[in-house]
Amino acid sequence: MGSLFELNRQETLLKKEIAIKRLKKQLSGRRPKKIIDTGTQGSPVTLLAAGIAGKRYAVLSFPDGRKIRVREGENLPDGTRVLRIDGSGVSVRKRGSVVTYPYGEDRRRKLSGEYPRFPGFQPPPPPQGPSGGRP
């Protein structure tokens, strides 16, 4: 009977310790890294990357046409964590291995044959000369 009492006392103490640790963690001000919704399946491509070491960000384009901005250290809901943004693209940890999303073109734009639009910019007409269109 005495050992049962002792086990109950230890269990109560452990529950209190766990509750205290949870409260300390909440009060420490540390917040979980930002989580971004990546939506449907498929590997994205890196459209651009910018920033300085430690504060880099990149824009990923997904096959469904969505674009998201990511930073080093962010978690994606599909199980990936952004490890590095560098000259080869965005490297993520996915199911224990490192995968790099390389730089590329937006697939939807590529399929539609559309050129990017820049407001207020009118490209010059192609040069024409006596040699059949060459200057």
Percent of the chain with pLDDT over 70: 68
Does residue 89 sit in helix, strand or coil? Answer: strand
Coil, helix or strand at residue 112: helix
Higher pLDDT: 54 or 79? It is: 54
Q: What does the buried/exposed string (b/e) look like for 34-47 if buried means 16 or more CB atoms within 10 Å of the residue's CB?
A: eebebeeeeebbbb
Q: What average pLDDT does this structure show over 66-82?
A: 83
What tens digit of pLDDT does each residue of 6-50 get?
Answer: 888 888 888 888 888 888 877 776 555 444 544 445 688 899 888
CATH class of 45-107: mainly beta
- 0.85 surpassed by pTM: no
